[in-house]
Structure 1
Amino acid sequence: MTQASPPLSLHAIRGCFEGAIPAIMSTCAEDGTPNVAYISQVNYVDERHVALSFQFFNKTRQNILANPYSSVLLIDPASAAYYRLHLRYLRTETSGPLFESMKAQLAGIASYSGMAGVFRLLGSDVYEVEAIESVEGDRLPPQPPRFGLLAGVRRSAERLAACGATDELLQTTLAVLNDHLDVHHAMVLMLDTATQRLYTVASCGYATSGVGSEIEIGHGVIGVAARERTPVRISHMTNAASYSHAVRSSMRETEPGLVLDTEICFPGLSEPHSQLAVPIVSSGRLLGALFVESPQDMRFGFEDEDALVAIAGHLGAALELLRTTDEPTAPAEEPRAAGAPSATGAPVPVRHYLANNSVFIGDSYLIKGVAGAILGKLLREYSEQGRSDFTNRELRLDPAIRLPDLSDNLEARLVLLQRRLVENCPHIRLEKTGRGRFHLRMERPVALIEIAG
């Protein structure tokens, strides 16, 4: 007596939901007339539910509203196996994480197929899966199972847990992605709560680091993942230039008087074929986003998404822990090095625009916002008082710097400023000297001009 095979689960056929091959949906009108149509997206929601894209008020939509039962034919792109889902329509979502994730994925498919002006998501139709049926037919030889992701997440967590400083933590995050997950193009972005923009603090795999570049919450794969606090994964080619366009358009709207030479080019592949962004969250609070991409189609599957979510969770917890310990709670007397600056040579010309705290070294833009305000304070006190040693605590207490709130990651701002100086001004350096303390090293004098307007 042969033992019956266990029933199929949605998890077992999750490869069918990657969007590589369109699904086929059949519905019936009230009078029993059948209708068959291609569906752009079938998304895995959980073990009992899937979501289908609602883009047009067509015959399929009319039938579902009149008769909520349908079947969907899926194909696994790796094995060529067919599966039939028997579904019952429950509801349509027009906002929230599921809708925004599907909308972003549809935009990637539209870009890939040249249908960007046609595809538009109206809603996410949620269905209960009543049965899963395996369809007889020839199949490709099974691919070897993929191993190592779970072990990679474990090793990544161990390495992140060993980090004792924010800069070390950010660099280790990129390193573990490369070493344990075989991801070679990645970036970490932090949230500026005051401007609702994400700014790049670390990246790897690009011709230029893009440290300091920004993207607004809600724009592109990264901005949507951050706004909705949900992973967004696209497996087809998209246009990375949309990030730069989004940033530029946003800056024109919110800062019309600001010249656009203060825009730092956003890093990214010129023709990415796979992208995955996950939010960095700690204690329910959005800290930023972790983003990876690849020139290969279908590079990131749902297991890669799970792995990246786990790593982003460790990163968020570690960032929050370091934030609370980045300065002494009861510091000793603040360091106040006095005396004339000892740097020699031609002065470094620095312009600090107080209106938005943008800083230029000569004619080259360096940084703006909170990081610009910090640099302005350091250079001002160095020039006027000969100071070169500072603490995180005094930066927090200085109202001119205008940190958005006490939970803002000041150390991440200092990391951003430090890297921008390394890349663009070899004569000015920030060096960490202890817990919550750092040193301003000047190799040449500074000629600081502060401009009110």
Structure 2
Amino acid sequence: MPVTLAAIRPCLEGIIPAALASCSADGIPNVTYVSHVHYVDADHVALSYQFFNKTRENVLSNPRVTVQVIHPDTGVNYRLALSYLRTESEGPLFESMKARLAGIASHSGMAKVFRLLGSDVYRVLDIETVPGAVLPVDPAPCCRLEALRLLGVRMQAATDLSDLTADLLAGLERSLDIRHSMVLLFDPDRLVLYTLASRGYSQSGVGAEIALGDGVIGVAAQQRVPIRIGHYTQDYAYSQAVRAGLSSIDRNPLETEIPLPGLPHAQSQIAVPLCQRDKLLGILFTESELELRFDANDEDTLVILAQQLAQAMVLLQMNSEEDMAEPVSAVHAVSAPRAPPLNIRHFPANDSVFLDGHYLIKGVAGAIFMRLIRDYVLHKRVDFSNKELRLDPELGLPDITDNLEARLILLHRRLDEQQRGVHLEKTGRGRFRLVVMRPILLQQMAESA
């Protein structure tokens, strides 16, 4: 049977450099090595264009080349007959190759030498197996198809976004031995991704943000393409704030950073976009302290799971909007708690909120929190519904396509983490209660945050 490109994808990981043979227009051959042969699809690969050298000159004048790749586990050599089509110097393919090359360069000590100028796309004309010895390989540690089936069933059974994300991350560890992962959602108004759920880290980092285009996560979101790195690289390591928690609001009243969760010495990372049609919803991110922990099969598996997750998120949101409970009309009287007062400081410029001098949240979730607190202080209300928040014009919520439930989950988890005498409690579908165990001292700040 003919060898397919998909069958030899381990050869395209950049573990072993590939030999590239080209020929000038007048018939003079040239052989060199390329650091990266990138799988594009079943019929195309891309080679890294890093230098304007003899090979580049040959390719532009004679598009037919031969590449020999080696399977890193079995040692089998394959010879690929290719035909040059075009060069891409921006966009998803270029950014994906740029990230992978940065990891290869850092691992080989060539970070200052390797610089991607373009991605040369070739059509694969033929693949030939080169005769030689074959080394035995160990079987795969898990069945990815079984894992996809189990995780798909759990996602279908989820009744809300909180359970959906928590079950998925737990399933990644249980079924695929992926122990460090997170789900980040996209805020289109501020062009940032915020952490909604994480697993395997000492701090959850819920609410931590990373800008679109920043690091592995930001580039994957910006280009809407999976980014996979098998070696640590400073250029594509995502930003991780290393700063002590605020002990007093007076020290730095404008500090609103939450450290992004992450491994301090991550060697392998995959960031996969969550998309529904043309809309970016967020990122599914995994990492490991082991080099080359994730291969092409892991990437394919996570891409499928990301597609299922995005679809489940949209369906849950649609059901939430359709079945959203009516606004709560009754006022729930409560007695004043006996405890030291909770100092709540609010900065209207970006709706950042601080509890006893400690940053809680900002943006849409911050505006929602202040809406609840004001109703509690003025009217002693504690029972609310998602629908009334959606219909409240003063909140200035994004349009109905924005995931209100995600903002409430984010607020819920941040309040639970801080443990400062106020939290949210779900009371039914589309309904929740504000539980306040301390008197409220509300401060509205005039200065911007």
Contact 1:215-1:247 within 8 A present in 2 as well? no
Alignment-derived partner of residue 394 in structure 2: 400
Secondary structure of the corresponding residue to residue 70 of structure 1: strand
Alignment-derived partner of residue 209 in structure 2: 214
Alignment-derived partner of residue 419 in structure 2: 425
TM-score normalised by the chain length of structure 2: 0.92
Secondary structure of the corresponding residue to residue 135 of structure 2: coil
Determine whether 1:106 maps to 2:104.
no
Q: CA deviation at 1:438?
A: 0.8
Q: CA deviation at 1:241?
A: 8.7
Secondary structure of the corresponding residue to residue 261 of structure 1: coil
Q: CA deviation at 1:271?
A: 1.5
Contact 1:272-1:294 within 8 A present in 2 as well? yes
Q: CA deviation at 1:40?
A: 1.7
Determine whether 1:233 maps to 2:228.
yes
- Listed one character per residue, the Cα deviations across residues 293-339 of structure 1 (whole Å, up to 9, x for unaligned) are 11112211111111111111111111111112225657445244244
- Listed one character per residue, the Cα deviations across residues 361-399 of structure 1 (whole Å, up to 9, x for unaligned) are 112111111111111111111111111111112212223
Contact 1:166-1:412 within 8 A present in 2 as well? yes
Provide the rounded CA distance (Å) in 2 between the counterparts of 1:433 and 1:301. Answer: 44
Determine whether 1:278 maps to 2:247.
no
Determine whether 1:363 maps to 2:363.
no
Secondary structure of the corresponding residue to residue 198 of structure 1: strand
Counterpart of 1:59, as a letter, is: K
Secondary structure of the corresponding residue to residue 349 of structure 1: strand
Determine which of 267, 277, 285 is the counterpart of 2:261. 267
Q: CA deviation at 1:450?
A: 1.2
- Listed one character per residue, the Cα deviations across residues 168-226 of structure 1 (whole Å, up to 9, x for unaligned) are 11111111111111110000000101011110000011111111111111221111222
Q: CA deviation at 1:417?
A: 0.8
Secondary structure of the corresponding residue to residue 238 of structure 2: helix
- Listed one character per residue, the Cα deviations across residues 249-281 of structure 1 (whole Å, up to 9, x for unaligned) are xxxxxxxxx976211111111111111111111
Q: Return closer, same or farther for 1:22/1:400 CA change in 2, 3 Å cut-off.
A: farther
Q: How does 1:11-410 map to 2 (within 5 A)?
A: 11-145=6-140, 147-239=142-234, 242-244=237-239, 261-327=255-321, 331-332=325-326, 334-339=328-333, 341-410=335-404
- Listed one character per residue, the Cα deviations across residues 80-132 of structure 1 (whole Å, up to 9, x for unaligned) are 11111111111111222212211221222233334333332221111111121
Where do 5+ consecutive residues of structure 2 fail to align? 244-251
Alignment-derived partner of residue 247 in structure 2: none
Provide the rounded CA distance (Å) in 1 between the counterparts of 2:382 and 2:426. Answer: 12
Contact 1:239-1:272 within 8 A present in 2 as well? no
Counterpart of 1:37, as a letter, is: T
Secondary structure of the corresponding residue to residue 144 of structure 1: coil
Q: Which moved more, 1:33-42 or 1:326-335?
A: 326-335
Provide the rounded CA distance (Å) in 2 between the counterparts of 1:442 and 1:140. Answer: 65
Provide the rounded CA distance (Å) in 2 between the counterparts of 1:128 and 1:330. Answer: 51
Contact 1:78-1:143 within 8 A present in 2 as well? no
Provide the rounded CA distance (Å) in 2 between the counterparts of 1:380 and 1:40. Answer: 60
Provide the rounded CA distance (Å) in 2 between the counterparts of 1:189 and 1:69. Answer: 43
Contact 2:205-2:260 within 8 A present in 1 as well? yes
Secondary structure of the corresponding residue to residue 244 of structure 1: coil
Counterpart of 2:319, as a letter, is: T
Q: Return closer, same or farther for 1:341/1:386 CA change in 2, 3 Å cut-off.
A: farther
Provide the rounded CA distance (Å) in 2 between the counterparts of 1:286 and 1:446. Answer: 38
Secondary structure of the corresponding residue to residue 197 of structure 2: strand
Contact 2:98-2:116 within 8 A present in 1 as well? yes
Alignment-derived partner of residue 252 in structure 1: none
Counterpart of 1:385, as a letter, is: H
Provide the rounded CA distance (Å) in 2 between the counterparts of 1:350 and 1:117. Answer: 49
Note the aligned Cα RMSD (angstroms): 2.1
Q: CA deviation at 1:227?
A: 1.8
Alignment-derived partner of residue 255 in structure 1: none
Q: CA deviation at 1:413?
A: 0.7
Q: How does 1:429-444 map to 2 (within 5 A)?
A: 429-444=423-438
Where do 5+ consecutive residues of structure 1 fail to align? 1-5, 249-257
Q: Return closer, same or farther for 1:85/1:327 CA change in 2, 3 Å cut-off.
A: closer
Q: Percent identity?
A: 52
Secondary structure of the corresponding residue to residue 26 of structure 1: strand
Contact 2:332-2:383 within 8 A present in 1 as well? no
Secondary structure of the corresponding residue to residue 225 of structure 1: helix
Determine whether 1:451 maps to 2:448.
no
Secondary structure of the corresponding residue to residue 210 of structure 2: strand
Counterpart of 1:48, as a letter, is: D
Provide the rounded CA distance (Å) in 2 between the counterparts of 1:246 and 1:33. Answer: 54
Q: Return closer, same or farther for 1:327/1:132 CA change in 2, 3 Å cut-off.
A: closer
TM-score normalised by the chain length of structure 1: 0.92
Q: Return closer, same or farther for 1:332/1:363 CA change in 2, 3 Å cut-off.
A: closer
Contact 2:214-2:238 within 8 A present in 1 as well? yes
Q: Return closer, same or farther for 1:368/1:57 CA change in 2, 3 Å cut-off.
A: same
